[in-house]
């Protein structure tokens, strides 16, 4: 057995042994590692390790050392972490490898510490001239002339006026990447080519413009910072995942004339960002320390659910099965941004508490006949509206978003809770032109307060600067150029008309949500499988070297997923001692179709139309008073929308419903416009059911 540091062998005692544990990253956040071991306290070892025993050292000791563990054909590359060194206790250390080694590297490293490989300052001239060059470059990006690592689309940082009802009224926003809608020749032009007065502050050229990095590029750069290559994944090839971008709220990105990618990322740690991705898409990042690569494995893909080997013959004792409580998944994300709060905690709650719910594209929404307490989900912006009745009047209110938690609340099941920690970004609409017939409208997400990293506000001789800003983790899809010649960034799978433009939304619930795409199988296993199985193993080294801990195995015909495997390395050889697995066979009884059912909306198929006997009353008046009379209504019936919609039985039966007598007058108008009331009487009004 050898422990090699820079090709040199560490001196070990003749009885040295070390116990290693490899873990499945799906079930362990610490990574694969050894239990603490001890090396000989010798001058050779101390010199090789940089003298960790010296108290008189003037330089910091490297306590994280690259190491190779070798025994015959077995070899692992890892990181040796030294805890202490003394003559009495020897040199104490732990070895981390693969994911364990990688986790030690990224611990406490911030996203803004990433070294990006790019030319941040390609243009020459003054700050304003270089900012102008960047604006022109961004136009080329939007027009498709240049393929880059980022995209540009409008976002709002603040709502300054307006109210969100059915017909939007006088909204104003603080925006980034605001299109210059006054340009009749260049649809890609952004505001920012000239100095502007914003909130009584003179802002420089390029202010209010910032690009958004593509998620697949950011992930590659993140791992490249640690000298790892990210292998191709669904984030590169999938039609929806490849369109995800990471938002930022930096208002002065190009004002210095440079484009610093470090200013385009969230202010979290790399660990937080990776955990966010894993908890959102049910995937893991699997480092290979030997090849310096990282693979992204999604749980809900065939290769992660299909056994690759039968290891039954290596099981030497009867496995021990632990019957622990079954669980269910609960998924959530941040909804602290204005208007991001969902209309109910879960989609199931929304359906349970409301009789009628429907979804509408923009055309349907504009012409929708809401009924009292009816819910309409406006697909293009993911907002939920409800008809509120007060006496005989009605109003349409936005009651929340579609960013529901996924939580089936199944009784007697514990939770496996996952919060992705990113912020859901609600959508808004800005109209350009005169209402009620705008020239066009465009959609954009709200991302919260803007930050400034390159500029300060000068008041007299004092300049106030933001030394650092705060940027939350936020994602959107780049849905590309729309019919209005403006790019659409949205967390949803709908275009600005409310029609499908993708097959995935960044919300958890619903037919196009993240649960169905990424979490459904995992939830099924939590509910009806995942029995813990502990086995004693006697596995040859040749088979152990082919053992993929992320892929299911077969034990006595039962598919199982490894959780960890333990083995001992010494001069005597490699002994695989034991392993822990989770069973993948669903145990009856179960009914996943019912347990994971997407709530169905009870959409009313019928509506009321109002009619009355006005013509009969007029005929009666003409017969009695002659021509020249006027029928004038003095009492109106309640708005038809205050009634619940017709039932199927009412529609099939036909006839009149909600019959009412309302007051009216028979008037006679003179030539001067002055009228006299000939008679006060009533007219009859009623509702008739019609089919949509």
Q: Answer for the pair 311, 555: CB distance below 8 angstroms, yes or no.
A: yes
Render the burial of 535-552: b for 16+ CB within 10 Å, e for the rest.
Answer: bebebeeeebeebebbbb
> Strand pairing of 17-23 and 558-570?
antiparallel
Rounded to whole angstroms, how far apart are CA atoms 257 and 454?
Answer: 10
47: tokens are: 């010199």
Q: Which of 134-148, 413-427, 503-517 has the lowest mean pLDDT?
A: 134-148
Query: Which helix (H) or strand (E) segment is 363 a member of?
Result: helix 362-366
Q: What is the pLDDT of residue 618?
A: 93
Whose tokens are 């007051």? That residue is 663
Q: What is the pLDDT of residue 49?
A: 87
Q: For 390-422, how does the pLDDT look when each residue is reduced to its tens digit (9 = 90+)?
A: 665 667 888 999 999 999 999 999 999 999 999
Which residue has better confidence, 434 or 481?
481
Q: 378 pLDDT exceeds 70?
A: yes
CA distances from 36 to 5, 20, 94, 296, 418 (A): 18, 10, 5, 30, 31
Q: For 646-671, how does the pLDDT look when each residue is reduced to its tens digit (9 = 90+)?
A: 888 999 999 999 999 999 999 998 87
Which residue has better confidence, 389 or 325?
325
Q: What is the pLDDT of residue 327?
A: 96
Q: 541 pLDDT exceeds 90?
A: no
Rounded to whole angstroms, how far apart are CA atoms 519 and 420?
Answer: 13
Q: What is the pLDDT of residue 366?
A: 81
Mean pLDDT within 514-528: 96
Q: Is 488 left (phi over 0), alpha (psi -120 to 50) or beta?
A: beta
Where would I find the H helices in 187-244? 215-224, 234-237
Q: 640 pLDDT exceeds 90?
A: no
Q: From the centroid of its chain, how far is CA 353?
A: 26
404: tokens are: 């529901």
DSSP 8-state secondary structure symbol assigned to residue 214: E
Q: Answer for the pair 384, 375: CB distance below 8 angstroms, yes or no.
A: yes
Rounded to whole angstroms, how far apart are CA atoms 512 and 404?
Answer: 13
Query: Which helix (H) or strand (E) segment is 615 a member of?
Result: helix 614-625
Q: What is the pLDDT of residue 463?
A: 47
Q: Answer for the pair 180, 190: CB distance below 8 angstroms, yes or no.
A: yes
363: tokens are: 């055309």
Q: For 413-463, how does the pLDDT look when each residue is reduced to its tens digit (9 = 90+)?
A: 999 999 999 999 999 988 876 555 556 788 999 999 999 998 886 655 444
The reported pTM is 0.85
633: tokens are: 């209504």
Whose tokens are 């139309």? That residue is 609
Other Cβ atoms less than 10 A from the Cβ of 274: the count is 19
- Contact partners, residue 240, CB within 8 Å, separation at least 6: 477, 493, 502, 503, 504
Rounded to whole angstroms, how far apart are CA atoms 451 and 502?
Answer: 31
Mean pLDDT within 455-477: 72
Confidence band for 169, pLDDT divided at 50, 70 and 90: very low
Rounded to whole angstroms, how far apart are CA atoms 428 and 446?
Answer: 7
Other Cβ atoms less than 10 A from the Cβ of 631: the count is 17
**Strand intervals (E) in 51-89:** 64-71, 74-86
Q: 180 pLDDT exceeds 70?
A: yes
Rounded to whole angstroms, how far apart are CA atoms 171 and 359?
Answer: 24
Q: Nearest-5° angle of CA 163, CA 168, CA 173?
A: 65
Rounded to whole angstroms, how far apart are CA atoms 384 and 515?
Answer: 20
The residue among 532, 533, 530, 534 whose CA lies nearest residue 586 is 530
Q: Which of 16-20, 35-39, 44-48, 658-662 has the lowest mean pLDDT?
A: 35-39
Q: Which of 157-171, 515-529, 533-547, 562-576 has the lowest mean pLDDT?
A: 157-171
Confidence band for 603, pLDDT divided at 50, 70 and 90: confident
Rounded to whole angstroms, how far apart are CA atoms 23 and 33?
Answer: 8
Q: For 234-293, how does the pLDDT look when each residue is reduced to its tens digit (9 = 90+)?
A: 999 999 999 999 999 999 999 999 999 999 999 999 999 999 999 999 999 988 887 889
Other Cβ atoms less than 10 A from the Cβ of 626: the count is 9
Q: What are phi and psi of 347, to 5 degrees?
A: -65, -35
Q: What is the pLDDT of residue 37?
A: 82
| DSSP three-state, residue 377 | strand
Q: Answer for the pair 275, 257: CB distance below 8 angstroms, yes or no.
A: no
Q: 158 pLDDT exceeds 50?
A: yes
Other Cβ atoms less than 10 A from the Cβ of 56: the count is 5
The two most distant CA atoms of the chain are separated, in Å, by 125
Q: Nearest-5° angle of CA 525, CA 528, CA 534?
A: 75
Q: What is the pLDDT of residue 194?
A: 86
What percent of the chain has pLDDT above 70? 92
Q: 602 pLDDT exceeds 90?
A: no
Q: 468 pLDDT exceeds 60?
A: no
Q: 544 pLDDT exceeds 70?
A: yes
48: tokens are: 């090789």
């Amino acid at each position: 057995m050898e422990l090699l540091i820079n090709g040199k062998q560490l001196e070990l005692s003749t009885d040295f042994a070390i116990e290693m544990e490899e873990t499945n990253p799906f079930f362990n956040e610490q990574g694969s590692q050894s239990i603490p071991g001890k090396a000989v306290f010798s001058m050779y070892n101390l010199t090789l390790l940089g003298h960790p025993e010296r108290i008189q050292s003037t330089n910091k000791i490297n306590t994280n050392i690259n190491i190779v563990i070798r025994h015959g054909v077995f070899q692992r590359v890892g990181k040796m972490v030294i805890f202490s060194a003394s003559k009495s206790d020897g040199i104490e250390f732990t070895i981390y490898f693969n994911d364990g080694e990688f986790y030690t590297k990224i611990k406490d490293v911030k996203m803004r510490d990433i070294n990006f490989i790019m030319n941040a300052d390609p243009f020459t001239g003054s700050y304003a001239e270089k900012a102008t060059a960047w604006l022109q470059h961004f136009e080329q990006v939007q027009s498709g002339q240049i393929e880059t690592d980022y995209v540009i689309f409008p976002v709002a940082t603040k709502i300054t006026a307006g109210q969100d009802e059915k017909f939007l009224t006088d909204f104003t926003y603080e925006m980034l990447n605001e299109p210059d809608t006054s340009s009749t020749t260049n649809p890609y032009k952004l505001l920012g080519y000239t100095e502007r007065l914003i909130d009584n502050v003179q802002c420089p050229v390029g202010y209010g413009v910032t690009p958004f990095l593509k998620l697949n590029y950011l992930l590659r750069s993140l791992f490249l910072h640690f000298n790892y290559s990210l292998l191709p994944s669904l984030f590169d090839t999938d039609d929806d995942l490849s369109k995800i971008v990471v938002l930022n709220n930096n208002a002065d990105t190009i004002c210095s004339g440079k484009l610093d990618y470090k200013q385009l990322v969230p202010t979290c740690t790399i660990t937080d960002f990776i955990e966010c991705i894993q908890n959102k898409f049910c995937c893991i990042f699997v480092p290979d320390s030997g090849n310096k690569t990282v693979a992204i494995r999604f749980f809900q893909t065939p290769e992660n659910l299909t056994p690759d080997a039968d290891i039954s013959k290596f099981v030497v004792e009867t496995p021990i099965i632990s019957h622990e409580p079954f669980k269910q998944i609960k998924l959530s994300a941040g909804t602290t941004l204005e208007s991001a709060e969902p209309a109910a905690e879960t989609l199931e709650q929304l359906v349970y508490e409301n009789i009628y719910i429907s979804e509408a594209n923009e055309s349907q929404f504009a012409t929708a006949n809401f009924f009292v307490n009816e819910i309409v989900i406006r697909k293009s912006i993911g907002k939920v509206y409800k008809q509120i009745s007060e006496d005989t009047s009605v109003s349409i209110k936005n009651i929340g978003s579609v960013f529901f938690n996924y939580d089936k609340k199944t009784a007697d099941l514990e939770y496996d809770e996952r919060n992705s920690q990113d912020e859901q970004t609600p959508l808004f609409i800005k109209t350009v032109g005169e209402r009620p017939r705008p020239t066009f409208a465009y959609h954009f997400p709200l991302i919260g307060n803007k930050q400034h990293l390159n500029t300060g506000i000068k008041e007299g001789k004092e300049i106030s600067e933001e030394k650092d800003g705060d940027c939350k983790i936020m994602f959107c899809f780049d849905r590309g150029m729309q019919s209005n010649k403006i790019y659409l960034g949205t967390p949803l799978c709908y275009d600005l008309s409310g029609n499908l433009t993708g097959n995935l939304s960044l919300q958890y619930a619903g037919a196009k949500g993240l649960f169905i795409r990424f979490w459904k199988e995992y939830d099924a296993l939590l509910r009806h499988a995942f029995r813990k199985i502990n086995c004693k193993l006697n596995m040859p080294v040749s088979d152990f070297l082919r053992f993929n801990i992320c892929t299911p195995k077969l034990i006595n015909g039962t598919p199982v997923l490894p959780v960890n495997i333990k083995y001992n390395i010494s001069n005597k050889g490699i002994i695989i001692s034991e392993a822990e697995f989770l069973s993948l066979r669903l145990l009856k009884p179960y009914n996943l179709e019912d347990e994971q059912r997407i709530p169905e909306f009870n959409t009313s198929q019928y509506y009321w139309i109002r009619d009355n006997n006005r013509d009969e009353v007029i005929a009666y008046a003409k017969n009695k008073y002659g021509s020249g009379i006027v029928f004038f209504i003095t009492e109106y019936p309640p708005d038809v929308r205050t009634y619940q919609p017709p039932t199927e039985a009412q529609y099939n039966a036909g006839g009149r419903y909600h019959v009412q007598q309302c007051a009216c007058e028979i008037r006679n108008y003179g030539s001067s416009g002055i009228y006299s009331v000939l008679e006060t009487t009533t007219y009859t009004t009623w509702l008739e059911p019609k089919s949509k």
